[in-house]
């Protein structure tokens, strides 16, 4: 129906090559470099034996995330947020999304009064950094949990299901899976979908950048996202089994 051609003739419903590297850095309890094509995000999970004020004395733990992008992760250099003195609204939106997505698959009671702090830093950006971050952060979090189990700090895993995320969008009328930067810039509708291993939705965030989208288009996008997330979960499990 459309003549739109993707980089390297990728099919409209195909993911980019995905690569998940565990143990990318040595200090963190979980450290994963995740690549969605040219997008590279370093996700670390740090275990801290304390919780934020609203959880103190609750017997429950906490899972939270921060997101950043190196200044030259992008085509043109963007300002360093630490130098400007504040995180942009976009950054805050993304890190709140990552935190909520991971908490959705955690039983905070089983975690005990400790925090898993996820840091997702984009080394190189080519679209889909937030979905790569969620998908990689899950693997880092699983490694951190495995460490807690191995040390006997917890008896049972607080992780209730895997979680992964993908972007979908409509470019020139065609629904596409896993948008890269040029597609993301050109798309009319952009949707980020986060799902659990059970095939349920954790987050759906669809935005019409140009023309508003119809109910039928929404259906097509959700179908694509379900397919992609299913594939990502296989890759997560393969990486964790390695």
Binding site residues for phosphate, as ranges? 90, 128-130
Compare residues 11 and 83 and give the one whose CB is closer to a copy of itself: 83
- Element (DSSP H or E) covering residue 144: helix 129-150
236 contributes a contact to a copy of itself by CB under 8 A:
no
Residue from 32, 51, 102, 104 that binds a copy of itself (CB under 8 A)? 104
21 contributes a contact to a copy of itself by CB under 8 A:
no
Compare residues 201 and 235 and give the one whose CB is closer to a copy of itself: 201
Residue from 74, 146, 157, 237 that binds a copy of itself (CB under 8 A)? 74
- Total binding residues toward a copy of itself, as defined by CB under 8 A: 66
- Element (DSSP H or E) covering residue 117: strand 115-124
Phi then psi dihedrals of residue 52, to 5 deg: -70, 160
| Pairwise CA distance, residues 121 & 104, whole Å | 21
38 contributes a contact to a copy of itself by CB under 8 A:
yes
3-state secondary structure of 148: helix
206 contributes a contact to a copy of itself by CB under 8 A:
yes
Instruction: Answer for the pair 119, 154: CB distance below 8 angstroms, yes or no.
Output: no
191 contributes a contact to a copy of itself by CB under 8 A:
yes
Backbone torsion region of residue 11, taken as left when φ is above 0, otherwise alpha when ψ lies between -120 and 50, otherwise beta: beta
Candidate ranges 4-12, 75-83, 106-114, 165-173; the one touching a copy of itself (CB under 8 A): 75-83
Minimum Å distance from CB 202 to a copy of itself? 5
* Length of the chain (residues): 242
DSSP 2-69: -----GGG--TT-PPPEEEEETSSSSSSEEEEEEETTEEEEEEEEEES---GGGTTSS--EEEEEEEE
> CB under 8 Å to 144, separation ≥6 — which residues?
28, 29, 30, 45, 46, 47, 116
58 contributes a contact to a copy of itself by CB under 8 A:
no
57 contributes a contact to a copy of itself by CB under 8 A:
no
100 contributes a contact to a copy of itself by CB under 8 A:
yes
215 contributes a contact to a copy of itself by CB under 8 A:
yes
Question: Would you tell me which residues interact with a copy of itself (CB under 8 A)?
Answer: 25-28, 31, 38, 40, 42, 44, 46, 48, 66, 68, 70-77, 80-83, 85-87, 89-93, 95-96, 100, 104, 117, 119, 121, 123-125, 161, 191, 195-196, 198-208, 211-215, 218, 222, 226
């Amino acid at each position: 129906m459309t003549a739109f051609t993707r980089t390297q003739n990728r099919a409209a419903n195909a993911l980019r090559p995905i690569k998940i590297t565990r143990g990318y850095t040595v200090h963190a309890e979980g450290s994963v470099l995740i690549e969605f094509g040219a997008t590279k995000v370093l996700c670390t999970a740090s275990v801290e034996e304390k919780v934020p004020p609203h959880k103190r004395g609750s017997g429950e733990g906490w899972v939270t995330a921060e997101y950043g992008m190196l200044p030259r992760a992008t085509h043109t250099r963007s300002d360093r947020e630490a130098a400007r003195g504040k995180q942009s609204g976009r950054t805050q939106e993304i890190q709140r999304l990552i935190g909520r997505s991971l908490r959705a698959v955690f039983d905070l009671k089983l975690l005990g009064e400790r925090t898993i702090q996820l840091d997702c830093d984009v080394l190189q950006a080519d679209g889909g950094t937030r979905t790569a971050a969620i998908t990689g952060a899950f693997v880092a979090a699983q490694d951190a949990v495995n460490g807690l189990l191995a040390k006997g700090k917890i008896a049972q895993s607080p992780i209730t299901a895997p979680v992964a995320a993908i972007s979908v969008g409509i470019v020139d009328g065609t629904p596409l899976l896993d948008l890269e930067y040029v597609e993301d810039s050109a798309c009319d509708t952009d949707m980020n979908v986060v799902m659990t291993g059970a095939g349920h939705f954790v987050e759906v965030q669809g935005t019409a950048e140009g023309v508003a989208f119809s109910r039928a288009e929404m259906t097509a996008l959700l179908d694509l996202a379900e397919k992609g997330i299913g594939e990502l979960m296989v890759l997560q499990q393969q990486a964790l089994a390695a």
